[in-house]
A and B are shown apart, each in its own frame.
Chain A
Amino acid sequence: MANSNSAQNTPASPELPVVNPTRRKAVKAGFATLGLAAFAAAISPLRSAAKQTSAQAFFQNHYRELSAEDKRKVIARLEAETKEKYGAEVHIADDRPIPGTKFVYAINLSVCNGNGNCVKACHEENNHDRATHQSYIRVLEMDKGSMELGNGDSEYQGVVPKDGKFYLPVQCQQCDEPPCVDVCPVKATWKEEDGIVVIDYNWCIGCRYCEAACPYHARRFNWKQPEIPAEEVNPDQSYLSNRIRPAGVVEKCTYCLHRTRRGKLPACLEACPTGARVFGNILDPESNIRWILENKRVYVLKEELGTKPAFFYYFD
C-alpha cells in the first residue's frame, strides 16, 4: 500500500501550491482596502464633526473636561437650538449646589388625596412631551393597610379620595446609595453635594440600565424628541434639570433644582392643594423637614434595599 502510494505521488504534481503572483496582489490590495476602511472609521468622528453644529458640540461628545468658557458656549448653543427647534426664547442656567444644603422631601399620606395636581405641575415645569403626558411623578392608589407597591394603581380616574384607598405619590427618591448611578456605564449620572441625583443628557447614551436598576421606577426614557408648543415651553431652565431633553436619553426628577437651588420650593409642592408636600434642607435644625422627621411617624419606600432615600412619607 505504501509503495503504491509513493508510486502515485512520484510524478511531479502541477497542483502543488505555487503562489500565484496575481493572487498575492489581490490579497495585498484586500488588506490595503481594509486598512483604509479602518482608518476611515477611526477618523470618522472628524468627518462627522463637520456635520455638527459647532466645535463645542463635537468636543462635548469626545472626552474633554469643559472649562467655564466652554460651558458658557455649550449653554449658548443649547439655547440657540431650543430657539431653532421650538421657537422659544429660553434661559439655561448652570445651577450648582448651595453649600451646606442637603435636600429632603416628605409627603403626608394622611392628607394626600390623589388629585394629581403635582403630576401636572411637574409635566409643565419640566418641559415634558405634551402628547405622552410625561411626568416624573406617579401617584399610586393603594389599598388602605397595604404597602404592596405592586398592587398600586396609577391609572385611577374620577373623584378622589375613594373609600378604602390611600394615595402614594412616587418620584425619584434621590437615594444616598443610588443603584441607578452604580450601573451607568458612561458615568452620565451622579449624585451631587446637595443630594440630587442628576443626568447629563448630552453624555447619556440611552442604554437604560439605570431605568432598570431603579427600584422606584422613577426614571423615564425619551422615546422621541419632546413636542411642546412654543408658548408652553418653560423658559426658566437649567442644564441638569428641565432643559428640553434630546430623544434617546434618560431623564428624572431633580427636585426642580432650577428652582430649589435658587431658594424656591419645587413645582409639585407649590401645586399641591392639600399641603401634603414638605421640602427643605435637612442640615438646618430649624427647618420644617427636621421637625417632621423628629415628630412624625416617618418611613421610606423599600427600606430593605438599602438605597437610603432622601424622600420620606409620614402619617398624622
Chain B
Amino acid sequence: MSDPESVTPDQAAAWDQGSTEAESNPEPELFFVSHESDQGEQASSERSVSIAKGSRIASAVPIQKAPGSDRYPVVIQRYEGAPMIRLQADDPLQRQGQVACSTCHSVRKPNLKNTVAQLDQFHQGFSFAHGQLTCYACHKAQQPDALRLADGQPVAYREVMSMCSQCHSQQAIAYQHGAHGGMNGFWDLSRGPQFKNNCVDCHDPHVPKYPSMKVQFKPHDRFLQTNDQSSDH
C-alpha cells in the first residue's frame, strides 16, 4: 500500500495541493498509509463527479514518543482545508480542473428550501446519499468552505470526525478502541507509532456507504481445483 505507484488520483490531487512543507520533506513511506488505494478496486462507481479531499496534514519529522512518555502516539489521518470538486474534463494542456464550492457559493445566496433533487441542475453528476441530510446540515451556509456542528458552531475540516461522531456515536466509540476503521503500524506502542484512518478515508461523506469491491485474488483450493497450473493441494 505504500507503493507510490498505487496512489489514486484522489490522493495525488490531495498531495498536489499540499503545503510546501510537506513537499520539501519527503516523509518516511510508512507514514499516512491510506487505505484508499485498496478502494481503487471498487467494483463500480455511479459517481461521475469526484470530490478531492483537502490536503493531507503531513508530519515533516518522524513520529516521536511524546515527551515524558514511553509510548509512541496513535496518529490519525487528517485533512486540512475544503474539498475541491474535480471537473469532468481536462483543459487543453491535459490539466485536470478543480473548483472550490465557494467559487459559486460565495456569490450565491443559500436557499435552505432547496432539496438535493432540485439542485441537480447545478451539480450535474454529483451523487448524494447520506440519509435525509441536506447540504447545510454539515456545511455552514454563510461559509461554504466550512463545516458546522449540529449546534451551528463551526468546525475545521481537520476536526471533521467530531462532526461525524455527533450521529455515529457507536462507531466513534468502536473507533476509539480499534474495533472500527482499521489501523497500521505497531500494536505495541512502546516500539512504534500506530496510524489510523479518518472517517472520510473509507466513507465518502456524500455517499458514505462502504463501496462494493471486486475479489482480486483467490487461492486454488484443493477440493474445487480444476486449474492445471496449480498443485493438487
Residues of A within 8 A of B (CB): 98, 108, 111, 113-117, 119-120, 123, 129, 131-135, 138, 154-161, 220-221, 223-224, 260, 262-265, 269-281, 287-289, 291-292, 295-296, 314, 316
Contacts and interface: CB of A to CB of B under 8 A. Distances in A.
Among the interface residues A108, A260, A273, A288, which one has the most CB atoms of the partner chain B within 10 A? A273
Interface residues of B, number: 45
B109 interface: no
A133 B38 contact: no
Given A132-B231, A275-B197, A280-B187, A291 B179 contact: yes
Nearest to B190: A263
Contact of B213 (A113, A135, A157, A221): A113
Interface of B: 1, 33, 35, 38-39, 41, 43-44, 170, 174, 177-188, 190-192, 194, 197, 202, 210, 212-221, 224, 229-233
Contact of A220 (B180, B186, B213, B233): B233
Given A117-B38, A263-B192, A273-B38, A158 B215 contact: yes
Given A132-B231, A133-B230, A159-B214, A270 B184 contact: yes
A220 B231 CA distance: 12
A125 to B, nearest CB: 12
Given A123-B217, A263-B188, A274-B210, A159 B43 contact: yes
Among the interface residues A117, A260, A314, which one has the most CB atoms of the partner chain B within 10 A? A117
Given A120-B217, A158-B215, A291-B177, 16 more contacts: A123-B219, A132-B219, A160-B214, A221-B233, A224-B231, A262-B191, A263-B191, A264-B186, A264-B191, A274-B202, A275-B183, A278-B179, A288-B177, A288-B178, A288-B179, A292-B177
A299 to B, nearest CB: 15
Contact of A155 (B41, B191, B224): B224
Given A108-B179, A155-B224, A221-B233, A273 B187 contact: no
Contact of B182 (A116, A132, A274): A274
A34 to B, nearest CB: 40
Given A270-B1, A273-B39, A116 B186 contact: no
Contact of A160 (B188, B192, B215): B215
B217 A116 contact: yes
Among the interface residues A116, A279, A295, which one has the most CB atoms of the partner chain B within 10 A? A116
A200 B185 CA distance: 28
Contact of A275 (B192, B202, B217, B229): B202
B218 A155 contact: yes
Contact of A159 (B35, B186, B191, B213): B213
A289 B224 CA distance: 35
A279 B187 contact: yes
